[in-house]
A and B are shown apart, each in its own frame.
Chain A
Amino acid sequence: MSKDERGRPTRRGQPYLDEPEAKPFWASLREHKLTGQRCSACKRMFGYPPQSHCPHCLSPEHEWVTLSGKGKIYSHIAYHRAWHPSWQDKVPYNVSLVDLDEGGRLVSNVIGCAPEEVKCGMPVEVVFEDQSEYTLPKFRPAK
């Protein structure tokens, strides 16, 4: 666990796997499924981060659905400076806003190509990056 500026343990840089609204999201990723919340009342996708009530109609009922994992790049950047030691050996690295085909947007990384090859509007597809405690959805250029 990393430390904050006052030397206290911090989860900075890591997901909160036990956040109640998001638990199913992280659990499905462990099984290599990218999921999203669909409102049981208005049938629209919630988007991210996960939350208790539908952002469109405030219904408290939803179901988790498995997504195609396909999407398009809304915008992309390249970090040339690491704000966290765990990224020091990765600069320059891509971070992208990925608009998923079924609705909803994620912050993620496009991997499998150089940062300068990533373009706005580019079609991408999900890949699952397993780490010891959790699995992160990342994206690669669509085949």
Chain B
Amino acid sequence: MGNISGKYAIVGMGETKVGKRPDATTNSLHLEAIKACLDDAGVKPSDVDGLITNQPLNDAHRSYAVKLAGMMHISPTYATDLALGGATPIAMIQNAAMAIDAGMATTVVCVHARKRSTPDPSPGHPIRRGDEHWEEPWGHFAAAGGHAFAASRHMYEFGTKSEDLAEIAISTRKHASLNNNATMRKPITLEDHQNSRMIVAPLRLLDCSLESDGGGAVLVTRAERARDFPKKAVTILGMGQHHPHFSLLDAPTLTTLGGKKSSEMAYRMAGLSPKDMDFAELYDCFTITSMITLEDYGFCKKGEGKDFVKNGRITIGGELPLNTHGGLLSQAHLEGQLHITEAVKQLRGNEVEPERQVKNAKVGIVSGHGGSLAMHATMILGVL
């Protein structure tokens, strides 16, 4: 296969309205995202010959990609469901590029939607992670707990404080305040963060992401076909994955995660380094996740995230704008699907509110993170 850097591109993308969507179901949100994506790319459903998705969390279908294909009356030559939690949206695009490179498809839709803010009365069965019964008897139930373990250990090893994590929440909320399709748009202060109630110490409410309804999709094809599509193509320059553990019980460390090796792979494939990135869309299920990823991605040394995030560096206009859409913390939690669509919009250069546009954005990095801080995927995107 060799290095596929620059050979594949995102030529279409769509986002649904996010937040509370009592009008929608999990299935309808997937179709709504696909329709927006195909309209953006100027193609018909029958032009699509590959479909990749993530099993809905509230209804773990077998073969959900094939179900969606049936719902749009297409018969793909490549279809699969991926299950890497919040690393899935990036992994779907990686998988699309590999499928096209292998000659199994030419035009692949990658879609993810979820309905977690308002109830979905459709039939279904919620999915299990698989090792909950080694945690729940001791009162450990939530993703907030797993990430609080990482925050607690980061504080112990490096002296990071709750006030440092607040910098990420405040900057991300500022970006959401500029985004017409964001759920939480009222700016917050350090005082608001410190006064927000403790959820799982050391994480407070404003360290935690949202529960959301919504969806997003992208269309992947060969970069050489990009001129057949109406919008500026965004090229896949680098990609990586790393999954250093599954359970908190076998994690070698919780202060360096899969992002280190995953980003090293992506930088190597792209022939680029952290200083080449014009912006970063880093998974932010909790503030600590983005801080650890900033360090793992080499934007600063391990343990120096607490200083890196200060003085406007991660806000639009700063050295490394982080989560320019408002992230999972303030825009919507769709497992990072909108980190990707946002990166595409930033690189197209004329699709976000003007005050939210990163000036001269040519290259950006996106991260995905899932499970018990277990799974990680990286993608570097750029425009030529």
Q: Which A residues form the contact surface with B (CB < 8 A)?
A: 4-5, 11-16, 19, 47-49, 55, 74-84, 87, 90, 92-93, 95, 97, 104-109, 115, 119-121, 136, 138
Contact = CB atoms under 8 A, between A and B. Distances in A.
Contacts of B254: 74-75
A83 B133 contact: no
B198 A95 contact: no
B124 to A, nearest CB: 9
B133 A16 contact: yes
Given A48-B249, A49-B249, A97-B149, A79 B134 contact: no
Residue of A55, A81, A119 most packed against chain B (CB within 10 A): A81
Given A75-B254, A80-B201, A97-B248, A48 B153 contact: no
B181 to A, nearest CB: 28
Interface in B183-198: 197-198
Given A106-B249, A120-B156, A78 B200 contact: yes
A109 B153 contact: no
A2 B131 CA distance: 19
Nearest to B201: A78
23 contacts: A4-B126, A15-B134, A15-B137, A48-B134, A48-B249, A49-B131, A49-B134, A74-B149, A74-B254, A79-B200, A83-B141, A84-B141, A97-B149, A104-B249, A105-B249, A105-B250, A107-B135, A107-B140, A107-B249, A109-B139, A115-B201, A120-B152, A120-B153
B145 to A, nearest CB: 6
Nearest to B136: A13
A81 B134 contact: no
B148 A136 contact: no
A75 B152 contact: yes
**Main SS class of interface, A:** loop
A95 B139 contact: yes
Given A13-B141, A15-B133, 13 more contacts: A4-B126, A49-B247, A77-B200, A78-B200, A79-B139, A79-B140, A79-B145, A80-B201, A92-B198, A105-B248, A107-B135, A120-B152, A120-B156
Contacts of B126: 4-5
A123 B78 CA distance: 53
Interface string B242-266: 0000011110001000000000000
A136 B140 CA distance: 14
Contacts of B198: 78, 80, 92
B27 to A, nearest CB: 18
B199 interface: yes
Contacts of A82: 139
B202 interface: yes
Nearest to A78: B201
B199 A81 contact: yes
Contact of A77 (B134, B149, B157): B149
B131 A14 contact: no
